[in-house]
Amino acid sequence: MKATVISTVYNQAPFLPQMIESVLCQQTDFEFEFIIANDCSSDDSAEIISRYAQNNRCIKFVDNPNNLGFIRNYAQCLEQAAGKYIATLGGDDFWIDSKKLQMQVDFLEKNPDYGMVHTQFDELFMYKKFMQPQYQKNAQKTDPILQGDIFYRLVVNNTINAISVCYAKSIIQKSGLIQKFKKQEFMIEDLPLWLQISRTHKVGYIDKSTVCYRRNKDSASHFGDIEKYKEYMDYVKSISLSFLSREEIESPSLKDAFLQTECLSYTYFYFKKGDLKSFKKYYFKLERKTLDRIVMLWVLSLNMSFLFNGRC
């Protein structure tokens, strides 16, 4: 089996037909399997998946009788995956390019020193945005370091969208990461996967939007509760540090890079809290003060943060 597509599902019934059909319409010159693992949903997810599975032999339907939680559900899918390459897709997201899987598998087959390849992506916001479009094409910001040897870049700031990636399963099998997922040593899958792969292999990038990512306020990285957002950012940093040696952690350049990422996160955090004093503490440490941060300072200084509360 050349490739396995994995989708973990929990109470996402309204989005499943679009998600499933976006995979079924993939045009490839190889066979692929599609593992859909329903984690004991209380809505109609199981019925919808079952209907598609009956009519499409590439679908492998895993219906968990008990809720495993996301990371253990993902781990069991990885264990069952027969594909040489793994691509993932959230239950509420969808692919928008019928050649997505073929392009990525072709890239990895031609470049054995690359462990994974990701693409540009679109975003669909499931909540109102203040003065911003609901649908954003080519959401990946311009970044000169999206490919190649980017381990340290990802340690400091992960900008790779999980549903845009295709990676070699063999790297993960040898690493023992699947067992760590089963033991819930990590609660998210993307950053540990990217760091494990980029530690020993190059990362490829295709500058074409192939997927659409739905942004929900209560998703893992976009909490409506700002305190939970801060906890999440601290947790992400702890994962990055776990992949570094003591010498690397003490590196002045890495320390400075972590500081800049922390400042970016905390300016957002204290803006949402309306705390001008704490906002300034991190704002003035930023080496590059982007326009959105300048606007945040202006809004806070004029005590107008209520305009943006819950909308940024």
pLDDT of residue 310: 45
Instruction: Write down how long the chain is.
Output: 312
- Give backbone dihedrals phi and psi of 93, rounded to 5 degrees, phi first: -105, 175
Q: What is the pLDDT of residue 269?
A: 87
Query: Which domains does the chain possess?
Result: 3-215 (3.90.550.10), 245-307 (no CATH)
Output the pLDDT for position 273: 85
- 3-class SS of residue 303: coil
Distance CA 167, CA 81 (A): 13
Predicted TM-score (pTM) of this structure: 0.90
Q: Are 80 and 33 in contact (CB under 8 A)?
A: no
Q: Mean pLDDT, consecutive 10-residue segments, the chain of 312 residues? A: 97 97 98 98 98 97 97 97 97 97 98 97 81 81 81 93 97 95 96 97 96 76 67 92 94 93 89 90 92 90 63 44
3-state secondary structure 199-251: HHCEEEEEEEEEEEEEECCCECCECCCHHHHHHHHHHHHHHHHHCCCHHHHCC
pLDDT at position 311 is 44
* Res 308: pLDDT: 52
